[in-house]
Amino acid sequence: MAIEKGQTFSGSEKVDKYRPIYYAGASGDFNPIHIDPEFGKMVGLGGAILQGLCTLAFASKTVTDWAGDPGKLKRLKCRFSAPVLMEDTISVQGTVTDVQSGRARIDLKVVNQNGVEVLQKVEAEVEA
């Protein structure tokens, strides 16, 4: 696939109630705000929240699915800006903003079902 400036792509993931438990097992992040809904409520989060890096992994998967090869992803950065709750649907919209020297720069918009940006200033770089 030839990557060109202006190309767009998208993806989405629904956060099921077990996702933070699966992610905790894989990452070792068993912070109670992620796996205990009562604790999450007690500290004012409205329930358990998804690990931020799992949210970033959803964005990463959207990019690598589009690029066709996980090895093409060379850089990814973001600012975590809002919690993701169980049953949220995360949507990712990518736009190629530049292609130079065999690399494509991509800006990503990552929002929940209410349009709230859960990640901001999301940028990826892939092999073109």
Q: Which residues are catalytic?
A: 29, 34, 49, 52
Asked if 51 and 20 touch (Cβ cutoff 8 Å), the reply is: yes
Q: Give the Cα separation of 81 and 68 in Å (integer).
A: 28
What does the alpha-carbon distance between residue 42 and residue 112 come to, in Å, rounded to a whole number?
23
Q: Convert 76-105 into a string of H (helix), E (strand) and C (coil).
A: EEEEECCCCECCCEEEEEEEEEEEECCEEE
Alpha-carbon distance values, 99 to 57, 82, 88 (Å): 23, 30, 33
Measured in residues, the chain has a length of 128
